[in-house]
Amino acid sequence: MLDYECGWSLSFAGCGFLGVYHIGAATCLQERAPRILRDARCIYGASAGALTGAVLVGGGSLAESCADVLALAKEARKRNLGPLHPSFNIMKIIRDGLIKNLPENTHQLVSGKLYISLTRVSDGSNVLVSDFNSKEEIIQALVCSAFVPIYCGLIPPSFRGVRYVDGGISDNLPHHASKNTITVSPFSGECDICPKSNSANFHEVNLTNTSIQFSLGNLYRLTQALFPPEPKVLGELCEQGYSDALRFLKENALQEACKEKCGFYAQLSKLLPMRVMSYLMLPYTLPVESAYSVAVRVVDWFPDIPDDVRWMQGQVYRIVGTVCSQARNKLLHACSKEGFGSLRKCYTVPPTAELHSTCCYPKIPHSSADLESWLWDFPFCTDLTGKQVSGSNEKLSESDSHLNCFTNSEESGLEMDFDSSSENSFQTASED
């Protein structure tokens, strides 16, 4: 039950190609309960949920958005490798669709009401942005929120000079804890609008604030989020979103978008021999398609090359600095540990151990009474005493030489002149 006095909000979970479920649910709310969308305080979204919220608040067409998602899925399924084919540029298709569907004054309509979930690359923290100055800024934020690393590319996009990736990595269902927030998710769980599972398994998994029941149906939906099923299955998922929101679908544009082409080439391409032939020709066609797609991407990349190169250089310097600092710390730790171990060995020799050198020394006595005799038995002690005796003899000889120098001063030719006053003082002192 909504609290009309305190207000309410909506939160759309990130789900990849399953975003058509959000389109069906939003269409139901728009037709059957427009007040919920009109009077909602905030609309939160991550990845595909943010795209749906931007179309809702920004005045875009949900039918055109659904047709774009179905066309995107068809384009991905045309290739043998699906969305992983080098020629499939999902981010460019999403950007072109946003430019076409969103009006020019979108930033004035969504600022302060639409909150887009982003994951900052530098620290992995979640960021909610809601203030925009232009339509281009909204598109940049939405592209960042939908960018899955490696799946969509290697270099993450930027918003206001900061690199961001898919908001579902850090918070896939923003503001889900509030009791006045209507949560929408295509996975069976505890969200307000979600598929109801018939499984008897009550175990649930919480993936970045999204409650997902552990069942085969949800596992199948997780694979469909990145590898789109047939457009017919996506159309049924959109209808399920409508029925889960308010039980029925009344949108002809969606049904038209789900219809398959009935031309001769479309029927011919479905035949098994043609499909086998396409797979056999893959080693020859894939290099050509890859080279062409790489050339097109490089041309589109030219305006962003300086910023991307500077970002990559910064990341390389950061990684190298981290590796060098860790290696230096480990080396210093190993050196200090080795020095401490050798010092400990020097000071912890057991008293009963025998000392080995060039000569064999006697054992250390266990009694302190024999310490002096034990010390005198060492050769270096006798050498030391010999050196001391010789040193004392040298000092005595030096003193004798000095005395001889004074006594034989007359013979050496040196004149010794003493002051008379000093001589008198010496005599007086002796008499006293």
| 3-class SS letters over the chain | CCCCCCCCEEEECCCHHHHHHHHHHHHHHHHHCHHHHHCCCEEEEECHHHHHHHHHHHCCCHHHHHHHHHHHHHHHHCCCCHHHCCCCCHHHHHHHHHHHHCCCCHHHHHCCCEEEEEEECCCCCEEEECCCCCHHHHHHHHHHHCCCCCCCCCCCCEECCEEEEEHHHCCCCCCCCCCCEEEECCCCCCCCECCCCCCCCCCEEEECCEEEECCHHHHHHHHHHHCCCCHHHHHHHHHHHHHHHHCCCCCHHHHHHHCCCCCHHHHHHCCHHHHHHHHHCHHHHHHHHHHHHHHHHHHHHHHHHHHHHHHHHHHHHHHHHHHHHHHHHHHHHHHHHHHHHHHHHHHCCCCCCCCECCCECCCCCCCHHHHHHHHHCCHHHHHHHHHHHHHHHHHHHHHHHHHHHHHCHHHHCCCCCCCHHHHHHHHHHHHC
Active site residues: 47, 166
Query: Domain residues for 136?
Result: 8-257
Q: With respect to residue 106, please indicate whether it lies within any of the assigned structural domains.
A: yes
Q: With respect to residue 131, please indicate whether it lies within any of the assigned structural domains.
A: yes
Residue that is written with structure tokens 């004074």 in the block: 406
Q: With respect to residue 282, please indicate whether it lies within any of the assigned structural domains.
A: no
User: How far apart are the C-alpha atoms of 412 and 84, rounded to whole Å?
Assistant: 110
**Which CATH number does the domain housing residue 183 bear?**
3.40.1090
Q: With respect to residue 68, please indicate whether it lies within any of the assigned structural domains.
A: yes
| Other residues' Cβ atoms within 10 Å of the Cβ of residue 190 | 14
Distance, CA of 110 to chain centre: 30
Degrees to nearest 5, angle at CA 366 with 364 and 367: 115
Q: With respect to residue 201, please indicate whether it lies within any of the assigned structural domains.
A: yes
Q: What's the pTM?
A: 0.62
Q: With respect to residue 391, please indicate whether it lies within any of the assigned structural domains.
A: no
**Count of structural domains within the chain:** 1
Q: With respect to residue 61, please indicate whether it lies within any of the assigned structural domains.
A: yes
Per-10-residue mean pLDDT, the chain, length 432: 68 93 90 82 93 91 91 88 86 92 91 94 92 93 94 90 93 82 88 78 78 85 90 91 69 37 54 71 77 78 79 85 88 73 53 48 52 55 50 49 45 44 44 44
Q: With respect to residue 425, please indicate whether it lies within any of the assigned structural domains.
A: no
- In the numeric block, which tokens belong to residue 170? 């850090």
